[in-house]
Amino acid sequence: MSNAHPMVELWRGNLLESNHFGHAVICDAKGIVEAWGDPSTVIFPRSSCKMIQALPLVETGAADAAGLTEAHLALACASHQGEHRHVDMTGRWLESLGLDEADLRCGTHEPYDHAERDRLIKSDTSPCQLHNNCSGKHSGFLTVTRHLNAGPEYVAIDHPLQIAIKAATEEVTGEASPGHGIDGCSAPNFATTVTGLARAMASFAAAKDTGSVRCRAMYRLTRAMATYPELVAGEGRACTELMRAMGGRVAIKTGAEGVFVAILPEQGLGMALKIVDGGGRAAEAAIAALLIRAGVLEANHPATLKRLNAVQTNRRGLETGILQAAPDFP
C-alpha cells in the first residue's frame, strides 16, 4: 500500500508524531470525480456498507410488512453504541417479530456507551446481544429472514439473505466482489474497491423517491440515516455528531479498520475512504476534510473540531498537540 496518500497527521508540540495514509474516492453518477491514493485498492467496507446490507430489508417488502418506521431503518444501518434507547428499541423490534435476543447471531460485547455499561456493571448484569453495535442490522436481517421464511442461520454465506446482499453489493458497486470475510458480528462482508464503494454511495446520493424498487429503497435508507443520526451511532460519536452538524442533508457511516463513507444527495456525490492502517481517528479526520471541501460541513463546527484540526489534550487538560490533515490532503 505504498501508493496510499498521506491524509492525516498527529503533531505533538512542534514535531510530527504519527501519520496516516489512505485511499479516497469521490464519485458522481458518471464515475470518479476525484481520488487520492489508489482508487482500485480492494477493501472490506465493514460497517460502512450497512445501508447496502439493508437493501433487501426494504426491497423485499419485509420492512413494510413488519411495519418498520424510518427510525427502524436508521437502526438497521447503525453501528450503535448500546445506549439504553438502542437496546430497548432493538428488543421491542425483535419482540414485534415474535423473536428474541437469542435469535440474533451477532454475539455480545460490552456497550460502548458508558451510562449503559455502568448500569450493567452496577447490577451485575452481563451484556447481551442487543448491546452489540450491529444488533439493529441483525434485527433487520431477521426481519427479512422471517419475511422470506428462510432458515434461522441468516449469516451463513449461502443463506438467501446473504445471497441477496452479495447481489445488491455487486450491483451498486458495479463490480464483482473479489471475496468476502467474516465480520466482527459474524455477517459476511463483501470486499470491493474504494471506487466501488464510492460508486455505490453515489447511487444512494442520486436515488429519488420515485423510480425503481432499488432507487426508492436507497432513497429511504439515506433519509432514515440522515434523519436519525442518534440511532446510527450515539451521543458523542462521529457519525451522529457530524450528521447533526450537516443538518440532515448528508448521510455518513463509519466502518471498522479505518473506513468512512458519505452520501451527499444535494451534490449527487458519494465518498469512500480507507485508512490503510485501520485508524479510526484518521478516518474521521479525513471524511471531515472531504465534507468541508464539498461545502456541506463547517470547518469550525465543534463536531468538526473534535476530529479535524483537533487540539489534543492530556489527563490534566493541557494541550499536547493537534490532529490535522496532511499538507496536500484533500
Instruction: Give contact residues for a second copy (rule: CB under 8 A).
Output: 1-2, 6, 10, 12-15, 17-21, 42-44, 105-109, 118, 121-122, 132, 178-186, 189, 191, 257-258, 275-279, 282, 314-321
Q: Does residue 130 sit in helix, strand or coil? A: helix
Measured from the CB atom, is 87 or 282 closer to a second copy? 282
Torsion sign over Cα 61, 62, 67, 70? negative
Backbone φ, ψ for residue 321 (5° rounding): 170, -155
Gap between the Cα atoms of 196 and 172, Å rounded = 8
> Least distance in Å: CB of 168 to a second copy?
20
Concatenated DSSP letters of 196-209: HHHHHHHHHHH--S
Measured from the CB atom, is 144 or 283 closer to a second copy? 283
Measured from the CB atom, is 121 or 299 closer to a second copy? 121
> Least distance in Å: CB of 14 to a second copy?
6
Measured from the CB atom, is 7 or 73 closer to a second copy? 7
Q: Say how many Å lie between the first and final Cα of the chain, rounded.
A: 19
> Least distance in Å: CB of 31 to a second copy?
24
At 264, which helix (H) or strand (E)?
strand 259-264
Q: Indicate the length of the chain as a whole number.
A: 330
Measured from the CB atom, is 39 or 229 closer to a second copy? 39
> Least distance in Å: CB of 129 to a second copy?
8
Gap between the Cα atoms of 163 and 12, Å rounded = 48
> Least distance in Å: CB of 302 to a second copy?
23
